[in-house]
Amino acid sequence: MSAYISIADVTKFFAGTSGRIDALQNVNLDVPAGEFLCLVGPSGCGKSTLVFIIAGLVKASGGEVRVGGEPVVEPDPDRTMVFQGDAVFPWMTVAQNIGYGLRYSGMPKAKQDETVKQLIHLVGLTGFADAFPKELSGGMKKRVDLARAYATNPTVLLMDEPFGALDAITKEKMQVDLMRLSVTDTGQRRTIVFVTHDLEEAIFLADRVAVMTPRPGSIQVVLDVPFPRPREASIRLSREFQALRGQIRGLLVTEEEEN
């Protein structure tokens, strides 16, 4: 398959208060259409910065990102994002949050309401349509966030440690839901770039895992995850799974020792 997201020689530096910070250096990565790619790396290596650049929220200092052949210049509802922090708008109800992107899609209002209703049901928030986020738990808010990112039916989904703040059980449930939802309305698989520091999460979800180097971040190696889908939660206990986890861990640890 050809690259749907193509990241070529992307470099990013920030003018920090104590001098220039090189966040990313010559990042090269191709993600084929429909792939679930997990991005792991030591903290501060530029994972968030890289997904922000793909989203069009941050401009690269050098290099180019193309999505579907087009250079990324600004955000587009065809490339939505789930953030590490809580990005659910507290002043909007669950339904208004989920329908936010649809307002700008040109979809007729009745169709928007219908879509929102379906999504609320899909992410298990039935009965909470008119609740404000303050009335929801962390896990429920993350579901709102996910549903909102799905609502515009994007071909690319960017996720920056979306489940990082959740407890283990909620997290596993969200992962299973994510797999179930990662298909577009027309049955195509979405192309997903998913940042995580949880290696089990990465292996469980991904088709491939890209391991980054410490800052300035670049792609150290991209590993295939051979497990067939649909995957059961129990594959985490298999020897192959644990061997792969050990291998990635080894890559991350050596890096840290080198520093």
Partner 1 sequence: MKQDELANSADAAGEEATKKRRWITGEGAVSVITVLILVALWTALTDSYIDDLYFPSPMDTIQVVGRMEGVLVGYFLATMYRVVVGMLIGAVLGVVCGVAMSWNKWINSVLDPLIEGLRPIPAVALIPFFILWFGIGDTGKLILTAIGGFTVMVVTTLEAIKHVSPIYIMAARTLGASRLEIYRTIILPAITPTLIGGVRVTVALSFALVIASEFMGAQSGLGYMIMLARRTLQTDAILVGVIIIGITSWIVDRFVRIVGNYLTRWAPRSE
Ligand X SMILES: Nc1ncnc2c1ncn2[C@@H]1O[C@H](COP(=O)(O)OP(=O)(O)O)[C@@H](O)[C@H]1O
Which pair of tokens denotes residue 167? 């407890």
Q: How far is the CB of 143 from partner 1 (least distance, A)?
A: 11
Phi and psi of 68, rounded to 5°? 60, 30
Binding site for partner 1 (CB under 8 A): 52, 55-57, 74-77, 79-81, 83, 85-87, 89-92, 100-101, 103-105, 124, 132-137, 139-140, 148, 152, 169-170
With CB under 6 A as the rule, give the number of residues binding ligand X.
13
- Give which of 69, 96, 72, 89 is closest to 2, Cα–Cα: 69
User: Whole-angstrom Cα distance, residue 120 to residue 143?
Assistant: 9
Comparison of 98 and 223: residue with beta carbon closer to partner 1: 98
Letters for 160-199 (x = contact with ligand X by CB under 6 A, - = none) are: ----------------------------------------
Please select the residue that binds Mg ion; options are 48, 152, 175, 218, rule is CB under 5 A.
48
Edge-first strand order for the sheet with 70-71 is: 19-32, 3-16, 62-67, 70-71
- Contact of 189 with 179, CB cutoff 8 Å: no
Nearest distance in Å: CB 215, ligand X: 5
β pairing state of 79-82 and 156-160: parallel
* Binding partner of residue 139 among Mg ion, ligand X, partner 1, none, CB cut-off 5 to 8 Å per kind: partner 1
46 binds, among ligand X, Mg ion, partner 1, none (CB under 5 to 8 A by kind): ligand X
Q: Give the binding range for ligand X (CB under 6 A) out of 40-48, 99-107, 218-226, 237-245.
A: 40-48
d(CA 26, CA 216): 9
Task: Compute the distance between CA of residue 11 and CA of residue 59 in angstroms, rounded to an integer.
Answer: 10
Minimum Å gap between C-beta 155 and ligand X is 24
Contact 206, 36 (CB under 8 A): yes
Q: Could you give the 3-state DSSP secondary structure of residue 61?
A: coil
Taking alpha carbons only, the member of 78, 60, 57 closest to residue 69 is 78
Q: What is the nearest approach in angstroms of partner 1 to the Cβ of residue 83?
A: 5
From candidates 6, 25, 48, 155, binder to ligand X by CB under 6 A? 48
Q: Which does 16 bind (CB under 5 to 8 A by kind): partner 1, ligand X, Mg ion, none?
A: ligand X
For binding to ligand X (CB under 6 A), which residues are involved?
14, 16, 21, 23, 41, 43-49, 215
For binding to Mg ion (CB under 5 A), which residues are involved?
48
